[in-house]
Amino acid sequence: MGTEPRPRPWGHPRGTERRHIPWGASRTVLAFLAASVLGATGVPAAWAGGLDLTDVSPELPLERPRFQADGGSRLGPTGPEVLLAFEAPYAELFFRPSGSRFRSRFDLILILLDGKRQVGGDLFSETIDVLDRRDTRDPAARVRRVLPVRAKPGNYAAEVILRETAAGRQARVAWKIEVPDYASLPLSISSLWVSDPTAANADSALLPPAGWVLRHRFGEPLGPLVVSGEVYRHDGGSDAVRLVWRILGSRGDEVQSGEMVLPMGERVPFHLHPEFAALWLGDYTLEVRAEVSGHDARRRFSFQMDATAGAFEADSQQSLELIELIAKPEEMRELRNASPVLRKEAWNRFWKRRDPTPDTSENEFRDEFFARVRHADEQFSVLGPGWRSDRGRVYIQFGPPDQVENRSMNLDMPAYEVWTYLREGRRFVFVDYEGFGRYELYRPGQ
């Protein structure tokens, strides 16, 4: 049970609560193309009680260079706005020698579409110069762009494209953005923005926050995170707004919550402080609800947690049980015997030893491991967590099988599955002995 997973492709008082990443080195913009601002025809997400909207986040691009993208909406000075954001680490970009420097050139396109019609967007032709090749691997060095686009209420598609002509590479992500009719609703909430409170200008009340964190999958390293937004009120009332937030697990169970009272005003910012680091591995939803004078508004987004050092300390037994699938005996002894002070260091060393690209901020081994754990929980959870099932444990260790043979139950035998791994020359037989879909490894004689 100590086999490490092999690499395989994968098809994230009033106004106070009760209870960023640095942009990297400088860039040069060589071209800047403005686009027209037109309206959209979709129907915003409102119900009889008020706004009720779940924001969708984009996935990572399948192609390289990999980058993060995100978007959100707010009520700007002249009407609704969409904010599109892009961020890429230098380590993902193609650099080549240029005199005494190393240079990366690429085109970045951010656009907002109503069907096939472009509503707004820009093209940035970027040039990045560094003095030393080691600077191209600096995990803190990143290029970022945030683009505001005016947009009427409606449903849109956002696209972000990164094109490296010299390297012959192009990566793209697309996702949906819904813009509510903020001005006509008696009570509404902007998009929810996760940010790093240690970033420069993080104390600014402007949206999006300076330390906007674009990813929606959190793991190590995980510092403090803040969730910010604005409540918009157009009901003419003077009562204070009650704001309630909660984090829900994948089965809808509440795992964290809090509330605050906001001061009066038509536009009131708020900042929430969930304990992300205390969440264990899994899928979650953060929901914010505003209530005042019979009006109600809700906004939410989904995110994923990889097992963090904080979660390891909060539930070390479950974390150890999980990584025992791939850990060596001496590593398990180190983790079990570590004092609370040294536990986080031991956890980080465990993953660092397996990092195939230690010079970058990514740890592909760790990412793949937790992707397999999430898949196991999604596909094999029957009367317990999927990663604890026999199919889940095999999947985590060996990845997706090359061949799967399914046989239904009949009068003579229960249903079973046969997983074949051609490269390893291994075959696993899982039998549904109880008939409830909890497949177990075949036991001769049963």
State pLDDT tens for residues 375-431. 898 889 887 888 899 999 999 999 999 999 998 888 778 899 999 999 889 999 999
Inside any domain, residue 6 = no
- pLDDT(296) > 90: yes
Better-predicted residue by pLDDT, 19 or 128: 128
- pLDDT(157) > 90: yes
Query: Within this chain, do residues 80 and 191 fall inside the same structural domain, yes or no?
Result: no
Tokens coding 388: 């604890």
- Tell me the three state secondary structure of residue 441: strand
Query: Within this chain, do residues 36 and 169 fall inside the same structural domain, yes or no?
Result: yes
d(CA 416, CA 428) in angstroms, rounded, equals 10
pLDDT at site 312: 66
Question: Domain range for residue 268?
Answer: 186-305
DSSP string, 216-280: SEE-SS----EEEEEEEE-S---SPEEEEEEEE-TTS-EEEEEEEEEPSSSEEEEEE---GGG--
pLDDT at site 428: 95
- Using CA atoms, how far residue 254 sits from 40, 291, 379, in Å, is 36, 19, 22
Inside any domain, residue 52 = yes
* Domain CATH number, residue 263: 2.60.40.2550
* 106: confidence class by pLDDT, cuts 50, 70, 90: very high
Residue pLDDT, tens place only, 239-264: 899 999 999 988 889 999 999 999 98
Buried residues in 331-344 as b, exposed as e (16+ CB within 10 A): beebbeebeeeebb
Q: Tell me which residue of 226, 196, 191, 216 sits closest to 303, measured CA to CA.
A: 216
Inside any domain, residue 5 = no
Inside any domain, residue 196 = yes
Counting the structural domains of the chain, the total is 4
Q: How far is CA 111 from the centre of its chain?
A: 21
Neighbouring-strand partners of residue 441? 430
- pLDDT(48) > 60: no
pLDDT at site 316: 75
What DSSP state is assigned to residue 4? P
* Domain CATH number, residue 415: 3.30.1450
Tokens coding 58: 């984009």
Rg, the chain, Cα only: 24
Query: Within this chain, do residues 244 and 112 fall inside the same structural domain, yes or no?
Result: no
- pLDDT(1) > 70: no
Inside any domain, residue 2 = no
Q: Are 259 and 15 in contact (CB under 8 A)?
A: no
Query: Within this chain, do residues 109 and 125 fall inside the same structural domain, yes or no?
Result: yes
- Tell me the three state secondary structure of residue 351: helix
Query: Within this chain, do residues 217 and 123 fall inside the same structural domain, yes or no?
Result: no
- pLDDT(282) > 90: no
Tokens coding 106: 């690429």
Q: Are 178 and 158 in contact (CB under 8 A)?
A: no
Which residue type, as a one-letter code, is found at position 72? Answer: G
**Final residue of a domain: which of 353, 384, 413?**
353
- pLDDT(45) > 70: no
Inside any domain, residue 241 = yes
Query: Within this chain, do residues 174 and 193 fall inside the same structural domain, yes or no?
Result: no
* 283: confidence class by pLDDT, cuts 50, 70, 90: confident
Query: What mean pLDDT do residues 167-192 have?
Result: 96
| Omega cis (within 30) before 385 | no
Give the list of residues 6+ apart from residue 140 with CB closer than 8 angstroms, or none.
21, 22, 24, 361
Inside any domain, residue 13 = no
Query: Within this chain, do residues 171 and 71 fall inside the same structural domain, yes or no?
Result: yes
C-alpha triplet 114, 115, 121: angle, nearest 5°: 45
Which residue type, as a one-letter code, is found at position 234? Answer: H
Let me know if 79 is exposed, middle or buried by CB neighbors in 10 A (0-12, 13-18, 19+): middle
Inside any domain, residue 273 = yes
What DSSP state is assigned to residue 378? H
**Final residue of a domain: which of 271, 305, 339?**
305
Query: Within this chain, do residues 24 and 151 fall inside the same structural domain, yes or no?
Result: yes
Q: Tell me which residue of 198, 220, 210, 215 sits closest to 361, measured CA to CA.
A: 220
Query: Within this chain, do residues 105 and 213 fall inside the same structural domain, yes or no?
Result: no
pLDDT at site 313: 64
Mean residue pLDDT of the chain comes to: 84
Query: Within this chain, do residues 212 and 121 fall inside the same structural domain, yes or no?
Result: no
pLDDT at site 309: 60
- Using CA atoms, how far residue 389 sits from 315, 360, 395, 438, in Å, is 19, 33, 10, 8
d(CA 304, CA 292) in angstroms, rounded, equals 31
Q: Are 51 and 277 in contact (CB under 8 A)?
A: no
Query: Within this chain, do residues 169 and 37 fall inside the same structural domain, yes or no?
Result: yes
Percent of the chain with pLDDT over 70: 85
pLDDT at site 38: 33
**Final residue of a domain: which of 180, 205, 226?**
180
Query: Within this chain, do residues 151 and 89 fall inside the same structural domain, yes or no?
Result: yes
d(CA 377, CA 389) in angstroms, rounded, equals 9
